[in-house]
A and B are shown apart, each in its own frame.
Chain A
Amino acid sequence: MTREEVYGTLNEVFRDVFDDASIEVEDSTTSEDIEDWDSLEHINLIAAVEQEFGMKFSMGQVVTMKNVGEMVDIILSQIAD
């Protein structure tokens, strides 16, 4: 999967979870940019991303992840075929 492909899929996950078809995520996107993305909704988002890509974030990764770009880095490192 290329970075672009990951972004394509990830965008869909964000749109589904927040039920908002206008969402476009990029490297610098953080919870500040999406209205409903608070610390509680974050839990569900992480679970949906894991399920979509068939991977698991470690606790350390969840704690340190700063923006969507870093999330995509982790996804890419885990699904490398």
Chain B
Amino acid sequence: MAGKRGWPWVLERECGGVKELEYPFDSDYILKYARKIRRRLLEGNEGFLRKRIAVLGGSTTHDIIRMLELFLLNQGILPEFYESEYGQYFQDAMFGNDKLASFAPDIVFIHTCSRNVAVWPGPGDGRDAVDALLEGQYGQFVSMWDKLSDTYHCPVIQNNFEYPSYRLLGNQDASDFHGRIRFLTRLNERFYQYAESHDNFYINDINYISSVYGLDKWADPFYWHMYKYCMCMNAVPEFAYNLSNIIKAVFGKNKKALVLDLDNTLWGGVVGDDGAENLEIGQETSMGQVYAEFQNYLKAQKDIGVMLNVNSKNEEENAMAGLRHPEGVLKPEDFIVIKANWEPKSRNMAEIAGELNLLPESLVFVDDNPAEREIVRAQFPGAAVPEIGRPEEYIRVLDRSGFFEVTRLSEDDRKRNDMYKANLMREKQQADFADYGEYLESLQMKGTIKPFEPMYMARIAQLTNKSNQFNLTTKRYSQSEIEQTAASGDYITLYGKLEDKFGDNGVVSVVIGRIEKSAGKEAAEKKGAALHIELWIMSCRVLKRDMEYAMMDCLVEKCREAGISVMRGYYYPTAKNNMVRDFFALQGFTKTEEDGHGNTVWQYEIPEVYEKKNRYIRIS
């Protein structure tokens, strides 16, 4: 990995995923060679994120699980499945069983389809009767979701309904309240209202996936009547891929940034040869319109928090001239890092990753040139490099790949581009200061460190799932687990926000410590309780800003208030968190244990006089 700088990262899965599972894929191939592909995915790969997934089906789920497993493995998630008995989704959800209870799912997926709708409106029914029918069916689902959430405290994924394969009322089926299409549309709308008001609930949009697949083929009655599959076999991979995108997003495996080529990717033509004025972009020509629409799509991605960057073989001034084209939608200021030079693109990728403090696997490289894609694939493993197709296909390929699957639009997502821009300005300014302390002083940092508060629960859960490098134990939490931890009296929880003159970084650090009450001999000797630090994470973008010390200071203070006299820190090495191997030593802890795997335990006796370590952040 020549040319890489920045963090001491090690690739989690050196050989990355398998190309056959990347969109656009060949479903027949995947179905046929599933066993072989699975073997390859498991061979020599370690460091999978292990997750338990309960699949509660209203129809056959065997091949759905088989395909879902492949796509999740390809995302670095090693799933273990619970599969309900045929059609037992409702019974399993409402009444449970020992097997499901002991399985303790990390996520529950309810696989229902329009074949599972029990009662339909009759032609003679009045409006009130149909409304009651609708609410009755919706109510059954709500009681199921509520029950699951209360029992398992984990995210629930629910299919919406695909359209039925025939229309008794013809076109009126869509608009008349007796029509099945209308009935399902209304039922779906009720599902979405529930999704809007429940944080850990996600819709798997099979209505969309079945329509892009082609409803007639999707709903092939052969598969229902022969095997009780609600879709044809060939559609299963598309279905499972779409579902896997939600799951990987929930577990923090989304991509974060696009790295874009310029010539024939963002516009038609070669700016260095043709001149900026002759590029195809804008409303003048058909191809110009295609590229303008693509730029529009990318701009919209930026608005939901995807970071845009450029990696182009060009003189920088030519690249900038192209980006300033009056008909262009994307302007130079829409990008975080622009690399326009004659270096190998794989080297530029490494530099961009370094400047953004991102891992290779967080990047998506988009280039019309297959040779450049191949170089990046070979020399910069981990990054996604989609087979982007022809210009008129760019949007579909990127969109359906689901790299940036949204689970919940947060304020942080929308502001992410601004935050990273501010970070780059900080780095530029840092170069102007002779002394690092002087630089930190100049940032005028203000921090807020407090126990978990309701408005930050989603962000805190998100951070626990996304942080890989500055993460001592790599323990992952769902939002409901975070909420339970905060509510329990057995834990000290802290989140840290950091602001400076360039902008607000939002919540950047989280610590969770479990209180162990002293008992017996220790209590008799009047020794205080102990705190086990189960989680300590920080966003790498605020590294070396004193934030880790500010968190320590606050933790010590909270321990004192709770009568805790000793803290125990734990470090569990992964392929990615080497940078914090000696973190506890830095904080003044002493190593007390180390096993053969490099797992270490640290101890810190809180002194009578504790000198605060943070010097540059004003804490409120």
Residue from the set B32, B34, B222 with the largest chain A CB neighbour count within 10 Å: B32
User: Within the complex, which residue of B39, B222, B233 is in contact with A44, where a contact is CB–CB below 8 Å?
Assistant: B233
Q: A43-B227, A43-B233, A59-B222 are in contact. Are A19 and B63 (CB under 8 A)?
A: no
Asked whether any CB of chain B lies closer than 8 Å to the CB of A34, the reply is: no
Measured between alpha carbons, how far is A44 from B33 in the docked complex, in Å?
Answer: 11
Asked whether any CB of chain B lies closer than 8 Å to the CB of A62, the reply is: yes
Q: Per-residue 0/1 for A9-38: is the Cβ within 8 Å of any B Cβ (1 yes, 0 no)?
A: 000010011110000000000000000000
Chain A interface secondary structure, helix, strand, loop or mixed?
A: helix
Q: A43-B233, A47-B234, A51-B28 are in contact. Are A19 and B226 (CB under 8 A)?
A: no
Q: A44-B233, A51-B32 are in contact. Are A59 and B226 (CB under 8 A)?
A: yes
Residues of A within 8 A of B544 (CB): none
**Quick one: closest B residue to A36, CB to CB?**
B35
Would you call A43 and B32 a contact (CB within 8 A)?
A: no
Residues of A within 8 A of B36 (CB): 16, 19
Would you call B31 and A48 a contact (CB within 8 A)?
A: yes
Give B160-209 interface residues, CB cut-off 8 Å to A.
none
Give B26-83 interface residues, CB cut-off 8 Å to A.
28, 31-36, 39, 60, 62-63, 66
**Quick one: closest B residue to A42, CB to CB?**
B227
Asked whether any CB of chain A lies closer than 8 Å to the CB of B225, the reply is: yes
User: Within the complex, which residue of A19, A44, A63 is in contact with B31, where a contact is CB–CB below 8 Å?
Assistant: A44
Asked whether any CB of chain B lies closer than 8 Å to the CB of A79, the reply is: no
Measured between alpha carbons, how far is A18 from B226 in the docked complex, in Å?
Answer: 22
Asked whether any CB of chain B lies closer than 8 Å to the CB of A80, the reply is: no
Q: Per-residue 0/1 for A46-61: is the Cβ within 8 Å of any B Cβ (1 yes, 0 no)?
A: 0110010000000100
Residues of A within 8 A of B222 (CB): 59
Q: A48-B28, A59-B226 are in contact. Are A40 and B62 (CB under 8 A)?
A: yes
Chain B interface secondary structure, helix, strand, loop or mixed?
A: helix
Measured between alpha carbons, how far is A62 from B249 in the docked complex, in Å?
Answer: 40
**Quick one: closest B residue to A40, CB to CB?**
B62
Residue total for B at the interface (Cβ-Cβ under 8 A):
19
Residues of A within 8 A of B227 (CB): 43
Would you call A19 and B234 a contact (CB within 8 A)?
A: no
**Quick one: closest A residue to B37, CB to CB?**
A19
Q: Per-residue 0/1 for B546-559: is the Cβ within 8 Å of any A Cβ (1 yes, 0 no)?
A: 00000000000000
Residues of A within 8 A of B66 (CB): 44
Residues of B within 8 A of A48 (CB): 28, 31-32
Give B92-136 interface residues, CB cut-off 8 Å to A.
none
Residues of A within 8 A of B234 (CB): 47, 51
Measured between alpha carbons, how far is A58 from B62 in the docked complex, in Å?
Answer: 22
Give B210-251 interface residues, CB cut-off 8 Å to A.
222, 225-227, 229, 233-234
Residues of B within 8 A of A44 (CB): 31-32, 34, 63, 66, 233
CB distance from B222 to the nearest CB of A (A): 6
Would you call B33 and A16 a contact (CB within 8 A)?
A: yes
Would you call A18 and B32 a contact (CB within 8 A)?
A: no
Measured between alpha carbons, how far is A63 from B225 in the docked complex, in Å?
Answer: 11
Measured between alpha carbons, how far is A10 from B74 in the docked complex, in Å?
Answer: 29
Residues of A within 8 A of B225 (CB): 59
User: Within the complex, which residue of B28, B35, B63 is in contact with A43, where a contact is CB–CB below 8 Å?
Assistant: B63
CB distance from B229 to the nearest CB of A (A): 8
**Quick one: closest A residue to B232, CB to CB?**
A47
Measured between alpha carbons, how far is A19 from B63 in the docked complex, in Å?
Answer: 16
Residues of B within 8 A of A19 (CB): 33, 35-36, 39
Would you call A62 and B31 a contact (CB within 8 A)?
A: no
Measured between alpha carbons, how far is A39 from B325 in the docked complex, in Å?
Answer: 61
**Quick one: closest B residue to A41, CB to CB?**
B62
Q: A40-B62, A62-B226 are in contact. Are A47 and B33 (CB under 8 A)?
A: no
CB distance from B28 to the nearest CB of A (A): 5
Residues of B within 8 A of A18 (CB): 35
Q: Point out residues on B near A: beta carbons under 8 Å.
A: 28, 31-36, 39, 60, 62-63, 66, 222, 225-227, 229, 233-234
The 10 closest A-B pairs by CB, nearest first: A19-B35, A47-B233, A40-B62, A48-B32, A51-B28, A43-B227, A19-B36, A16-B32, A59-B226, A16-B33
Q: Point out residues on A near B: beta carbons under 8 Å.
A: 13, 16-19, 40, 43-44, 47-48, 51, 59, 62-63
- Having A59-B222, A59-B226, one finds 18 other A-B pairs with CB under 8 Å, namely A16-B32, A16-B33, A16-B36, A17-B32, A19-B35, A40-B60, A43-B226, A43-B227, A43-B233, A44-B32, A44-B34, A44-B66, A47-B28, A47-B31, A47-B233, A48-B28, A48-B32, A51-B28
A to B CB contacts below 8 Å, 14 in the list: A17-B32, A19-B33, A19-B36, A19-B39, A40-B62, A43-B229, A44-B32, A44-B63, A47-B31, A47-B233, A47-B234, A51-B234, A59-B222, A59-B226
